[in-house]
Amino acid sequence: MRMFITGGAGFIGSNFVHYMLREHPEDQIINADSLTYAGNLENLRAVEQQPNYRFARVDITDREALRPLFEQGIDAVVNFAAESHVDRSILEPDVFVRTNILGTQTLLDLAKEYKVRKFVQVSTDEVYGTLGDTGLFSETTPLAANSPYSASKAGADLLVRAYHETFGLPVNITRCSNNYGPYQFPEKLIPLMIQNALADKQLPVYGDGLNVRDWLYVEDHCSAIDLVIRKGENGEVYNVGGNNERNNLQVVRTILQELGKPESLITYVTDRPGHDRRYAIDATKIRAELGWQPKYVYESGIVETIRWYLSNPEWMEQVKSGGYRDYYEKQYGER
């Protein structure tokens, strides 16, 4: 199978490239990524010479630059490319609409024109909005996005659905909960807190720290997408999650404990506007229909993840330079 992956230099995309090259060495992978601040080819250093892997620097909104890649014949498209950080979407929503909506529509058009056999849209549980203290998101929960990020992802999901209903494009949408694992850009909760704790800097926690997320080890997300590509019924949405609800304070305390740092480093900062209180996924459908099973347990997965960041200080240093620093200072000030 020749696979066209977008956003493969980001956190989940790069883990997916590693996963696929290991699990399906017979497949070919084209990784198309424009290398925004979040795209990092260091994540792919170990595989860049493999004959069945190819990188192309291209923006998913640039139809004519994408066309020659599709002309080579593509079996499946997996669209990871996105602006992915909620805080940034509050500061500058435009680029979220451009990449997440227009970019997805451009890929859908090309997938239709070149008759790809599968188009998988990697979406998020955030399109469902927020939950109260109880309940779970199922695939039939109405979309109720609350941030410009989740609204742009919901817009893309509807376009993907429309290309199936209107043009018969063989699509699937996956909606996964929060991922953790190696190669995550340190603006996101877990690597941000690890990095600050290591430097004895304050750990900025939004609001009361009790917002709940349903954490899944990134490789379990990759195995779910792999199953959807091969076995997903066209037109269907699959929720992906591991039933690991933790509030932000619990996550931060685990990191501090593991690194032997004091809880006095925690500092509460003004809550994010429109901050969703709780996400939790019902993944019964993908488990029952496709036989998906997560392999990792949160308690050991989080410790493994912390250790990965500890044993890759050069990666952290390289990533901390440039755009990320500017953004961090704008968001939290110099702490």
Contacts with ligand NAD by CB under 6 A lie at 6-7, 9-13, 33-36, 38-39, 59-61, 80-84, 99, 103, 122, 124, 153, 176, 178-179, 185
317 is written with which tokens?
Answer: 């240093």
- Least CB distance to ligand NAD at residue 131 (A): 16
With CA atoms as reference, report the closest residue to 184 among 331, 1, 9.
9
- Least CB distance to ligand NAD at residue 33 (A): 4
Nearer to ligand NAD, 237 or 265 (CB): 237
Beta strands in the chain (DSSP E): 2-6, 28-33, 53-57, 76-79, 118-124, 171-176, 179-180, 203-206, 212-214, 216-217, 237-240, 245-247, 266-269
Which entry of 19, 128, 149, 183 is annotated as an active-site residue? 149
Nearer to ligand NAD, 213 or 261 (CB): 213
Nearer to ligand NAD, 83 or 245 (CB): 83
- Least CB distance to ligand NAD at residue 95 (A): 8
- Least CB distance to ligand NAD at residue 43 (A): 8
Q: Within 10 A of 275 (CB to CB), how many other CB atoms are there? A: 13
- Least CB distance to ligand NAD at residue 334 (A): 24
d(CA 103, CA 317): 30
- Least CB distance to ligand NAD at residue 13 (A): 5
Which entry of 33, 83, 125, 220 is annotated as an active-site residue? 125
Is 200 one of the catalytic residues? Answer: no
Nearer to ligand NAD, 21 or 78 (CB): 78
Cα-Cα end-to-end distance for the chain: 48
Q: What angle do CA 198, 82, 217 make, to 5 degrees?
A: 50
Comparing every residue's Cβ against ligand NAD, the nearest one is: 10
Strand 28-33, strand 76-79: pairing:
unpaired
Alpha-carbon dihedral sign for residues 203, 199, 7, 16: negative
Is 329 one of the catalytic residues? Answer: no
d(CA 70, CA 47): 22
Which entry of 33, 83, 126, 226 is annotated as an active-site residue? 126
Nearer to ligand NAD, 265 or 281 (CB): 281
Q: Within 10 A of 7 (CB to CB), how many other CB atoms are there? A: 28
d(CA 222, CA 21): 12
Nearer to ligand NAD, 7 or 232 (CB): 7
Is 133 one of the catalytic residues? Answer: no
174 is written with which tokens?
Answer: 């996956």
**φ and ψ at residue 142, rounded to 5 degrees:** -60, 145
Which residues have a catalytic role annotated? 125-126, 149
